[in-house]
Amino acid sequence: MQYNQFLKFLREQERSKLTIQTYARDLEIFIEWFKQETGRIPEPDTVTPLDIRDFKGQLETMELKPATINRKLSALRSYFKWAQQVKFTAINPMIGIRDKPQSQQAPRWLERKGCHALIRAAEERVQLADSKRIPVKMTATAREARRDAAILALFLHAGLRLAELCNLYQDDLSFGERKGSATIRSGKGGKWRQVPLNRDVRRELKRWLNVRPDIDQSHLFIGRRSRPLGPRGVRHVIERLAKHADISEVSPHVLRHTFAKNLIDAGTSLDRVATLLGHSNLNITRRYTTPSQTDLASEVERIAWSEEE
């Protein structure tokens, strides 16, 4: 199926590692399904629209979410478009194959109370670590508490993606007297952008940089072994803070959504929100204008006539 050549093409296009891994996994599922159904390995010029419809039907019988089915179809769509461009097939079997309809749902974000609880949890960890350390000596726990507070601030107040935060270097930060910014060199699709840093982020970053070990490692965030903090480590940081704040289902992606929602609620225009988030398509940003259940409940309460119970 020229599977490896397609993945090589994606890498040459500087698609993100996560995108390539997801496409690879979805294509492998199709390949295995095709082999079981036909007893043959699928080649670009032997797959028909009927095969695709049967595969889509199989996915539907598995009661997968529409978004999951559409993601797998998207992987096939990208693959066969590439196969046609490089002359592996004359006909694209994805032509006429529609995505499964899905309702527009608002991304999950934290309400203001949840944001305050997380920030409070981060600050409490700093204070607790400081109360236990020997005067003048900075302990690993106290140092990590400041690092974790800076990580939380970047997610909540700058809306970085997980991979973008992990790939930040010290030299990517710029501080002035009353402003600052972070240069994102590893955005989605290899795009470059500059993200302004408000005073809360600048304060937390400076607190971390003041205690960050002076080692031969240029990544901004490092672990106890002086190695760059990876995605798993960062997720663990957020999960630990969420547990301390007694909040469930918090992730770096939820914090990025929270940043976007707060901007929308503050009246920031869609084009500016898209620029800050690194979106190339306004339709992606427009999701944050979809009201949540809390938003809808607040609107309904506005027309209540009775007094508070």
State how far the alpha carbon of 154 is from the alpha carbons of 6, 143, 144, 183, 290, in Å: 35, 17, 15, 12, 24
Residue 35 CB-half CA count within 13 A: 8
Q: Is 279 a catalytic residue?
A: yes
Determine the Cα–Cα distance for residues 40 and 48; give it in Å rounded to an integer: 14
* % pLDDT > 90, the chain: 60
List, in sequence order, every residue forming a beta bridge with 195; answer none if it has no partner: 182
- Decide if 77 is catalytic: no
Reported as type and span, the H/E element at residue 183 is: strand 180-184
Assess whether 11 carries a catalytic annotation. no
Residue 276, both tokens: 């800050």
Radius of gyration of the chain (CA): 23
On the question of pLDDT at 107 being above 80, the answer is no
More confident residue, 241 or 107: 241
For helices 17-38 and 66-85, the axis angle rounded to 10 degrees is 90
Token readout for 26 is: 């979805």
158 within 8 A of 252, measured Cβ to Cβ: no
**Known catalytic residue: 253?**
yes
Phi/psi-derived region of residue 73, left when phi > 0, alpha when psi is between -120 and 50, beta in every other case: alpha
Q: Round to whole Å and give the CA distance between 120 and 295.
A: 24
CA distance 283 to 95: 23
Rounded mean pLDDT of 124-152?
A: 89
Ranked by mean pLDDT, which of 259-263, 287-291, 295-299 comes out on top?
259-263
| pLDDT tens digits, 239-264 | 999 999 999 889 999 999 999 989 98
With cut-offs at 50, 70 and 90, classify the pLDDT of residue 50: very high
pLDDT for 69 equals: 94
Find the catalytic residue in 240, 244, 253, 286.
253
Closest CA to 43 of 6, 88, 4: 88
Domains and CATH numbers, the chain: 3-85 (1.10.150.130), 112-296 (1.10.443.10)
Q: Is 178 a catalytic residue?
A: no
Catalytic hit among 15, 146, 161, 257? 161
Residue 161 falls in the annotated catalytic set: yes
- Cβ-contact 104, 288 below 8 angstroms: no
Res. 306 pLDDT band, cuts 50 70 90: low
What is the C-alpha to C-alpha distance for residues 264 and 258, in angstroms, rounded to an integer?
10
The whole-number pLDDT of residue 187 equals 64
308: pLDDT strictly greater than 60: no
Q: Of the residues 188, 202, 257, 261, which is catalytic?
A: 188
- Fill in the amino acid letter for 149: A
Residue 97 has pLDDT above 90, yes or no: yes
Residue among 56, 72, 256, 257 flagged as catalytic: 256
153 vs 205: CA distance, rounded Å: 8
